[in-house]
C-alpha cells in the first residue's frame, strides 16, 4: 500500500480503548475510521461521536468484514470474544491490530497464532507498553549494554482498580483470562523483549483482597486478582519480578521498571518519563547516578491513557501495512504473553510453581 493512499480503519468493539485508538488514528497521516462494529448501540454512539465524521455501524465483526469499507481493523472487543471475532476479519484479509490479550485460554491463543503464522496481511498484537517513549529508550539502553550483563528485572505497577465495563464483563476471570493475563500480559511481553529469552518457570502469589468485595453480578462475586507478586526464571539465567497492586491509586509513579546488571542499575519511571542510571561505585564511595528525561509529544499524551504509546504503535503498524517496516509484535508474541499470564493465574490458585512446559511452551 503506497504511503499516499488512505488507510480505511474499522474498529471492532467500541469501548474506552476503541476511543483511544480513534483519537490516535486521527493523528496518523492518511488514515480515517470508516466503520464501527459493536452489539451495544450506546457504545456505538459514543465511538461514532469520537470519530466526528459519518461512519458505518455494524452489529458484529462479520458484517464489518464483508462490507468492503476497511483496509485495516482494530480489535478492541472484550477479551473472550477475540477467538470468534478474528476469523471473519482474517477471511476478508484485513490488516489486524488485535488488542491484548490475544485470547483467554492457551488453546484459543495458540489457534489464533497458528492462523496468523500463514496470514497474508499484517497481524499485530497490541502491546502498548513497548511503545511508550521512555520505555522504548530504556529497552534500547539495556540492549546497548548500559547495565552490563543483565541479571535482574523488576516491574512495579501500582495503580487504580479495574474500571467498569459494559456488562461488567471484566469482573470475572472466565471473561478476561484473569488479571495476570488481562492486565499483566503487557509486562510479561516487555520482560521477554528486555531479557531476550523465554521463561522457564513462574511463581505467583496473589489474591483479590481489597477491591470488588461488595460487588455482585447475577449473585456472583468477582474473582479477579487485585494484588500479586510474580517471579519468573528465564532460560538465560535472568530473574524477573512483577509487583502488582490495583488499590494504590495515590502512587506517584504508576510504573517503575528496574534493570540491574553486572555494571549498573537502570530505572524508568512512568508517568515522570525519567531514566535513572546508577553505576556500581563500590562500598562507601560517592553515588554517581544520572537522570535524563525522555520527552513524549503532548498530542500523543493527550490522545490516550498509555503515555503516548498508542500513537507510536499506530505509526509502527502503519509502516508495516505500507511495507515500510516490520511487524514488531506478532501473534506468537501474543500467545507467549497469554501463556505467562495463565501460568501466573494457575500458580496463584494452586500455590505452586508452574513450568512453561506444562502449557506446551
CB-side exposure of 64: number of CA atoms within 13 Å? Answer: 32
State yes or no: pLDDT of 2 exceeds 90.
Answer: no
Asked whether residue 228 is assigned to any structural domain, the reply reads yes
CATH of the domain at 191: 3.30.360.10
Complete DSSP assignment for 19-70: HHHHHHHHTSTTEEEEEEE-S-HHHHHHHHHHH-S--EEESSHHHHHTTS--
Q: Which cell is 12 given? A: 471492532
Q: What is the pLDDT of residue 209?
A: 98
Q: How many domains does the chain have?
A: 2
Residue 40 is part of which domain span?
7-127+318-329
Instruction: Detail the DSSP E strand segments found in 142-285.
Output: 150-158, 199-207, 227-234, 239-245, 255-261, 264-270, 274-279
Asked whether residue 187 is assigned to any structural domain, the reply reads yes
Asked whether residue 281 is assigned to any structural domain, the reply reads yes
pLDDT 10s digits, 10-51: 999 999 999 999 999 999 999 999 999 999 999 999 999 999
Asked whether residue 311 is assigned to any structural domain, the reply reads no
Q: What is the pLDDT of residue 240?
A: 98
Mean pLDDT in residue range 303-321: 95
Q: What is the pLDDT of residue 323?
A: 95
Q: What is the pLDDT of residue 4?
A: 76
Cβ–Cβ < 8 Å for 260, 155: no
**Is the same domain home to 155 and 234?**
yes
**Is the same domain home to 105 and 226?**
no
pLDDT 10s digits, 254-269: 999 999 999 999 999 9
**Is the same domain home to 106 and 157?**
no
CATH of the domain at 105: 3.40.50.720
**Is the same domain home to 75 and 168?**
no
pLDDT 10s digits, 127-166: 999 999 999 999 999 999 999 999 999 999 999 999 989 8
State yes or no: pLDDT of 1 exceeds 90.
Answer: no
The residue to which cell 508452574 is assigned: 354
Asked whether residue 289 is assigned to any structural domain, the reply reads yes
Asked whether residue 2 is assigned to any structural domain, the reply reads no
Q: Which residues contact 216 (CB under 8 A, 6 or more apart)?
A: none
Name the pTM for this structure.
Answer: 0.96
**Is the same domain home to 207 and 354?**
yes
pLDDT 10s digits, 74-102: 999 999 999 999 999 999 999 999 999 99
**Is the same domain home to 272 and 142?**
yes
pLDDT 10s digits, 177-235: 999 999 999 999 999 999 999 999 999 999 999 999 999 999 999 999 999 999 999 99
**Is the same domain home to 324 and 338?**
no
Count CB atoms within 10 A of the CB of residue 11: 31
Asked whether residue 349 is assigned to any structural domain, the reply reads yes
**Is the same domain home to 84 and 193?**
no
**Is the same domain home to 116 and 175?**
no
State yes or no: pLDDT of 56 exceeds 80.
Answer: yes
**Is the same domain home to 32 and 154?**
no
**Is the same domain home to 137 and 210?**
yes
Asked whether residue 304 is assigned to any structural domain, the reply reads no
- Of the candidates 319, 249, 334, 333, which has an alpha carbon nearest to the alpha carbon of residue 72? 319
**Is the same domain home to 44 and 141?**
no
Long-range pairs for 323-329: beta carbons < 8 A, 24 or more residues apart: 323/1, 324/3, 327/122, 327/123, 327/124, 328/124, 328/130, 329/124, 329/125, 329/126, 329/127, 329/130, 329/189
Amino acid at each position: 500500500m503506497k504511503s499516499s493512499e488512505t488507510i480505511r480503519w474499522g474498529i471492532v468493539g467500541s469501548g474506552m480503548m476503541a476511543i483511544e485508538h480513534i483519537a490516535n488514528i486521527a493523528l496518523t497521516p492518511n488514515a480515517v475510521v470508516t466503520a464501527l462494529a459493536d452489539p451495544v448501540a450506546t457504545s456505538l454512539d459514543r465511538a461514532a461521536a469520537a470519530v466526528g465524521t459519518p461512519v458505518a455501524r455494524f452489529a458484529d465483526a462479520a458484517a464489518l468484514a464483508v462490507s468492503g469499507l476497511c483496509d485495516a481493523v482494530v480489535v478492541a472487543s472484550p477479551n473472550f470474544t477475540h477467538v470468534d471475532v478474528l476469523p471473519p476479519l482474517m477471511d476478508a484479509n484485513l490488516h489486524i491490530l488485535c488488542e491484548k490479550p490475544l485470547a483467554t485460554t492457551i488453546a484459543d491463543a495458540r489457534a489464533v497464532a497458528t492462523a496468523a503464522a500463514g496470514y497474508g496481511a499484517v497481524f499485530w498484537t497490541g502491546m502498548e507498553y513497548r511503545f511508550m517513549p521512555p520505555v522504548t529508550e530504556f529497552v534500547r539502553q539495556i540492549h546497548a549494554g548500559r547495565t552490563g550483563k543483565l541479571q535482574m528485572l523488576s516491574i512495579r505497577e501500582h495503580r487504580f482498580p479495574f474500571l467498569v465495563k459494559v456488562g461488567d464483563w471484566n469482573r470475572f476471570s472466565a471473561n478476561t483470562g484473569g488479571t495476570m493475563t488481562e492486565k499483566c500480559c503487557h509486562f510479561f511481553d516487555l520482560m521477554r523483549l528486555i531479557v531476550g529469552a523465554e521463561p522457564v518457570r513462574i511463581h505467583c502469589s496473589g489474591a483479590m483482597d481489597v477491591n470488588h468485595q461488595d460487588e455482585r453480578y447475577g449473585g456472583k462475586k468477582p474473582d479477579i486478582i487485585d494484588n500479586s507478586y510474580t517471579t519468573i526464571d528465564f532460560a538465560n539465567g535472568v530473574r524477573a519480578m512483577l509487583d502488582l497492586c490495583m488499590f494504590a491509586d495515590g502512587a506517584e509513579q504508576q510504573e517503575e521498571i528496574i534493570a540491574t546488571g553486572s555494571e549498573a542499575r537502570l530505572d524508568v519511571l512512568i508517568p515522570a518519563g525519567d531514566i535513572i542510571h546508577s553505576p556500581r561505585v563500590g562500598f562507601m564511595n560517592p553515588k554517581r547516578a544520572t537522570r535524563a528525561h525522555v520527552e513524549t509529544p503532548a498530542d500523543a499524551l493527550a490522545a490516550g491513557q498509555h503515555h503516548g504509546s498508542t500513537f507510536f504503535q499506530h505509526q509502527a503498524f502503519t509502516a508495516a501495512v505500507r511495507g515500510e517496516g516490520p511487524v514488531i509484535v506478532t501473534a506468537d508474541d501474543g500467545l507467549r504473553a497469554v501463556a505467562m499470564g495463565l501460568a501466573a493465574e494457575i500458580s496463584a490458585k494452586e500455590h505452586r510453581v508452574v513450568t512453561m512446559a506444562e502449557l506446551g511452551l
